[in-house]
Amino acid sequence: MTSIVDSDGDRNLIRADSRGRVIVGPSQREALLDAYEQSGQTAMAFCRQHDLKYPTFATWVQKRRRQSASSGPAFAEVMIEAQSARTPDVEPLRITLPEGTLIEISERKQLPWVLELLRLLNPTRPC
């Protein structure tokens, strides 16, 4: 086995298998993948720069993507607009159904939903 010292002064062992292929440990592989993602380079250019075999590197990238996709739910940023404050001088429309249920409409855009609700509650009488 051979060891090299990188620019930070850390010693990294370079191991090879019986065929002479370099064995890259999991931590080194993760560090290379992190560097690739931050580099903005194509995979081929990154492999040339770091003396990596492209098919091997492409396999690492695919495995990482599969693991991150199956590691749990993906989250997305959602922006919720603040609801407009109701004008104090405008009273909401109140509908009281025969059985005592009260429906209150505070905005005009709610009207289609209420009409649909009333149709579903009593399909024999048109609204």
What is the residue-level pLDDT of the chain in tens, covering all 127 positions? 333 444 455 555 557 778 877 788 888 899 999 999 999 899 999 999 988 889 989 999 999 888 876 765 555 666 777 666 555 567 788 888 777 778 888 888 888 888 888 777 766 655 5
pLDDT of 117 reads 82
Angle (CA) 110 114 120, round 5°: 150
Instruction: Give the model's pLDDT for residue 16.
Output: 72
Instruction: Report the pLDDT value the prediction gives residue 85, as an integer from 0 to 100.
Output: 59
pLDDT number for residue 44: 93
Domain residue spans of the chain:
2-70, 91-122
Distance, CA of 54 to CA of 46 (rounded, Å) = 9
